[in-house]
Amino acid sequence: MSFVEPERYFSRISMIDIQKDILDAGFTHVLLDIDNTILTRDTHEVPRDVSFWLSKARSAGLTFCLVSNNWHEGVYDLARRLDLPIVAKAVKPLPPAFLVALRKIGAKRKTTVMIGDQLITDVLGAHFLGMTAYMLQPLVEQDLKHTLLLRNVERAFMGDREPEGASVQAAEELSDESSAQAINQG
Ligand SMILES: [Mg+2]
């Protein structure tokens, strides 16, 4: 695995198997990006599957700290709503915020996984500190201008690497559609 590539790459957070992919892989703590990882960049919502996954993960014993480069008041509100600790204005990929976050939740680098949607900030930041990084496809296409620039860099490194869970997700969407059609027809 190259330094600039995530250890795992998923289509979205709910496609990560909490037991198999996190607990069995030896992780007890998670540093979690916010924008386009758990919060949609366009409508500023936490999708239902995402909030369900989060509560399942916490019941399973995982400890989270949000780590966001975002500096708006909204991310603090979100942290309060989710009842999670947060380090905002993080300037990822630089190490200080990651270290503050680890300390905040009493986490060790070896047993902590960073989950985020950006290669340059989330994945590189984790790797600088020798931590594992799981990358996600962004929740929505809309992104800030400087993020869009970084997306081109990502494409250069990730090429056409397929995210895990993409086919499961497509199948679920299809079955949602067909059950919706069945309801409409019924
Ligand atoms: Mg993000």
Domain ranges (residues) in the chain? 8-185
What are the backbone dihedrals phi and psi of residue 116, each rounded to the nearest 5 degrees, phi first?
A: -165, 170
Quote the pLDDT of residue 180: 62
Residues 6+ apart with CB under 8 A from 146: none
Quote the pLDDT of residue 179: 65
- Dihedral angle over CA of 173, 45, 152, 130, nearest 10: -100
Distance 117 CA to ligand 1 centre (A): 5
Query: What is the rounded distance in angstroms from the CA atom of residue 150 to the CA atom of residue 45?
Result: 23
Q: Indicate the pTM of the whole model.
A: 0.89
Distance 30 CA to ligand 1 centre (A): 15
Distance 67 CA to ligand 1 centre (A): 10
Distance 182 CA to ligand 1 centre (A): 37
Distance 106 CA to ligand 1 centre (A): 23
Query: What is the rounded distance in angstroms from the CA atom of residue 183 to the CA atom of residue 137?
Result: 31
Q: What Cα–Cα distance (Å) separates residue 8 from each residue in 47, 115, 131? A: 22, 10, 13
> Which stretches of the chain drop beneath a pLDDT of 50?
none
Quote the pLDDT of residue 181: 65
Query: Which residues on neighbouring strands pair with residue 10, listed in sequence order?
Result: 136, 164
Query: What is the rounded distance in angstroms from the CA atom of residue 80 to the CA atom of residue 98?
Result: 20
Q: Tell me the three state secondary structure of residue 178.
A: helix
What's 168's DSSP letter?
H
Domain 8-185 has CATH 3.40.50.1000: yes
Closest by CA position to 27, among listed 66, 63, 68, 67: 63
Query: What is the rounded distance in angstroms from the CA atom of residue 161 to the CA atom of residue 147?
Result: 20
